[in-house]
Chain A
Amino acid sequence: MNAVSARQRGRAAVLIAPLVIFLGVFFLWPLWLMVDVSIRNDAIGGAFPRTSELIGSWDGEGAPDAETQAALVEDLREASQSTLGAAVRTLNSQVSGFRTLMGRTATAARDLEVGQTLDLVEVDDRWAEPRFWRAIQVSVAPYTDRNLLAALDLERADTGEIEPMPASASANRLIIWRTFAIAGSVTLLCALIGLPYAMLAASVTGWKRNALLLAVLLPLWTSLLVRTAAWFILLQNEGIINKTLMGLGWIDGPLPLIFNRLGVVIAMTHVLLPFMVLPIFSVVSAIPKNLMPAAASLGARPLRAFWRVLLPLSMPGLLAGSLLVFMVAIGYYITPALVGGPNDQMISSVIAFYALQTANWGMAGALGILLLAVTTVLYLVYGRLSRGGAPTGA
């Protein structure tokens, strides 16, 4: 008996193995890479081994001693371009100017004859400033919390304490709040439109139902960019909506519908509506049709019957739809860029900046982790709600 069930379990394991491997390779492994890249800090130690050893004893005043400086020159002579590149990227994201400083110094170091010494301050007078050396000193540790802190607008002071960055230096926290605010309002709007729509679609049959569902699905089959561009054409000052309203004489000047929060919320609600309608529809269409007449026969007015019977039964669909919409919405990037104003930029565009423009994958990873953490928390809350709130055997 045991042998049989063990064999069955073994066969089941083989059957789901492709899925597990797929998830591992294409989901867990990249996730781990993202976490790893945001805290790993081995670029400096790898490119400057000699300097790393010596700079620890520097007291942080003036420039380090001649021995440390000579070690840096030696490291620069020996370092391959690709290890040096990663190290300079890390340093430059802490103190602007390292790019040209290191480039110039590395050239001077390579041109150096054997036996000569190089006066670093003569190559570039920035080497007299302690802040450049301090950046090297703090970057020697193999792991760092710098990116994670910077993602939240925090930094470590020279004394090692965590303190907030000056308000003018970074706005990640604000952009993250903004991201949630936009995603939240889109979710709410989708729920307000999607719930009645899905109930309507579930209550009719035949071609009416098909037409209603098709109207929701059709946008899903169109490219995101095209849908966003379409809203651009509709909402602009000389667009159809403003022209019609002005033509009817209802307004004097064009309404500000685009390049602001309103435009972003409208466009995103349209794009994400299917993710709300479809889960609700699947739940509502499974609710027995005779429950509402039953409630009415027991004396409930239509509104009360809806409130006490239909809405609670549709709750699982509404929750699943809201979760889906919210999670997709916080990752949005193209729509805010095209129809949003300066204060509608969402966190994905900051991530894209670091990942694509400056190859600072540490910062991109740290911001990504932040989003992931929030999404995970939301998912756990959803799990709780859907277990506690969903009626069984509907």
Chain B
Amino acid sequence: MKSTIKRLALASSFAALAIASSSAQDRNLTVVSWGGNYQDAQREIYFEPFTAETGIAITEESWDGGYGVIAAKMETRPADWDVVQVETEELALGCADGMYETVDWEALGGEDKFLPAAVNECGVGAIVWTTGLSYDAEKFTEAPTGWEDFWNTEEYPGKRGLRRGPKYSLEFALMADGVPVDEVYEVLGTDEGVDRAFAKLDEIKGDIVWWEAGAQPIQLLASGEVVMTTAYNGRLAGINKTEGTNFQIVWPGSIYAIDSWVVLKDSPNKDAAFEFINFASQPENQAKLPEFIAYGLTNVEAGAALAPEVAAELPTSPENLEGAIALDGDFWVDNIEELNERFNAWLAQ
């Protein structure tokens, strides 16, 4: 994007920063994750035990995602992050752009130790999480069972929460319109399919509360601002545990996605970084995660080692996978800009 001369100029004008980054060689292994109680759990089961076992100190950071952040970091290499947990699109985009180190799957015990969807040439799957229709079970005699009910404002009057943006909204709209779950991305890949999804969203446009941060839908449900909303399953299970609420998720028609560990290209701590990922992928370490937060595990052995009642709450349990689909990262990588513009135009109409 920028010429070498300009990058040099930039570097020299930030002389002080350049000096700071030249000591990158001896900075700690820097691990970046999603913050909040998820990162608290990671600290307890991954970060601290890893340091105790290997003596490699870890500096933690948090981020909120977004490929632009990674791209900006990598304008000056090596970046000051080593290991980052990324979402599906950031993995696909960064892998195509050469932002990540290639994973040596043999060193991790072989690809067959992991769920197939967790294996990527640039990243190692860390968790499986789901977005789905959620509601407060205390407030219904007859609970909603699918996206048709989400669109049925007569039987279920009140506002609905959706994540602002075309991602997820369009898929769920098509499901509500009767598209079988395994054909959703096929239909969405055509212009008519996109028109159909927006037309379906039109039906409940006035009833939607759009949320952006993952904590918002929980708050909306708790305050009664909405009768149902899309939400992340880990957050729901978490609030049920801490606040004693009875928030439920409808598994059929939900969309799951995998977050992966990646190592940024040219990291000075590359070896330690992969050692850490290996540590965090071991079945005995991964299996401790669901105690804290209801995310599915990517290591097959770890998943199998869980108690049945714990496993039943996770997106990876066979019953919960029934009728659920994986987020299509390729589709969104290709279409997010165009559909986001169209989404903004549709909102403004």
Chain B nearest CB, measured from A224 CB (Å):
15
Chain B residues with CB below 8 A from A43, complex form: 1
Which listed residue, B14, B97, B216, B346, touches A168 by the CB 8 Å rule?
A: B346
Q: A168-B346, A359-B67 are in contact. Are A237 and B334 (CB under 8 A)?
A: no
Does B68 sit within 8 A of A, measured CB to CB? Answer: yes
Evaluate contact between B345 and A353: CB separation under 8 angstroms: no
Evaluate contact between A358 and B67: CB separation under 8 angstroms: yes
Chain A residues with CB below 8 A from B348, complex form: 171, 174-175, 178, 343
Chain B residues with CB below 8 A from A343, complex form: 347-348
Evaluate contact between A168 and B345: CB separation under 8 angstroms: yes
Evaluate contact between B337 and A93: CB separation under 8 angstroms: yes
Does A328 sit within 8 A of B, measured CB to CB? Answer: no
Does A386 sit within 8 A of B, measured CB to CB? Answer: no
Chain A nearest CB, measured from B337 CB (Å):
5
Binary interface encoding of chain B residues 136-172 relative to chain A, with 1 for a CB under 8 A from any of its CBs, else 0: 0000000000000000000000000000100000000
Chain A nearest CB, measured from B333 CB (Å):
5
Does A77 sit within 8 A of B, measured CB to CB? Answer: no
Give residues 54-113 of B contacting A (CB, 8 Å).
66-72, 74, 92-93, 96-99
Chain A nearest CB, measured from B332 CB (Å):
10
A357 to B210, CA, bound (A): 18
Evaluate contact between B337 and A358: CB separation under 8 angstroms: yes
Evaluate contact between A342 and B68: CB separation under 8 angstroms: no
Evaluate contact between A360 and B344: CB separation under 8 angstroms: no
A175 to B349, CA, bound (A): 11
Binary interface encoding of chain A residues 85-102 relative to chain B, with 1 for a CB under 8 A from any of its CBs, else 0: 110110011001111101
Which listed residue, A29, A99, A175, touches B334 by the CB 8 Å rule?
A: A99
Does B242 sit within 8 A of A, measured CB to CB? Answer: no
A122 to B344, CA, bound (A): 36
Chain B residues with CB below 8 A from A174, complex form: 345, 348
Residue of A with least CB distance to B195: A168
A238 to B69, CA, bound (A): 37
Evaluate contact between A357 and B225: CB separation under 8 angstroms: no
Chain A residues with CB below 8 A from B223, complex form: 236-238
Give residues 302-328 of A contacting B (CB, 8 Å).
none
Evaluate contact between A92 and B342: CB separation under 8 angstroms: no
Evaluate contact between A171 and B334: CB separation under 8 angstroms: no
A101 to B223, CA, bound (A): 46
A343 to B205, CA, bound (A): 11
Evaluate contact between B67 and A167: CB separation under 8 angstroms: no
Evaluate contact between A358 and B1: CB separation under 8 angstroms: no
A43 to B3, CA, bound (A): 10
Binary interface encoding of chain B residues 276-301 relative to chain A, with 1 for a CB under 8 A from any of its CBs, else 0: 00000000000000000000000000
**Total contacting residues, chain A, CB less than 8 A:** 51
Chain A nearest CB, measured from B36 CB (Å):
15
Give residues 126-181 of A contacting B (CB, 8 Å).
167-172, 174-175, 178
Residue of A with least CB distance to B9: A29
Evaluate contact between A361 and B342: CB separation under 8 angstroms: no
Which listed residue, B1, B96, B205, B336, touches A361 by the CB 8 Å rule?
A: B1
Q: A238-B224, A343-B348 are in contact. Are A357 and B96 (CB under 8 A)?
A: no
Residue of A with least CB distance to B216: A338
Residue of B with least CB distance to A107: B96
Binary interface encoding of chain B residues 305-349 relative to chain A, with 1 for a CB under 8 A from any of its CBs, else 0: 000000000000000000000000010011111111110111111
Does A25 sit within 8 A of B, measured CB to CB? Answer: yes
Chain A residues with CB below 8 A from B224, complex form: 237-238
Which listed residue, A80, A169, A359, A361, touches B341 by the CB 8 Å rule?
A: A169
A172 to B345, CA, bound (A): 8
A314 to B152, CA, bound (A): 57
Which listed residue, B96, B212, B337, B342, touches A85 by the CB 8 Å rule?
A: B96
Does B208 sit within 8 A of A, measured CB to CB? Answer: yes
Evaluate contact between B347 and A167: CB separation under 8 angstroms: no
* A–B pairs, 13, beta carbons within 8 Å: A82-B97, A93-B337, A98-B334, A168-B342, A169-B341, A174-B348, A237-B224, A342-B210, A343-B347, A356-B69, A358-B336, A359-B71, A361-B1
Smallest CB-CB A-B distances: 6 pairs: A81-B98, A85-B97, A356-B66, A359-B71, A171-B345, A359-B68
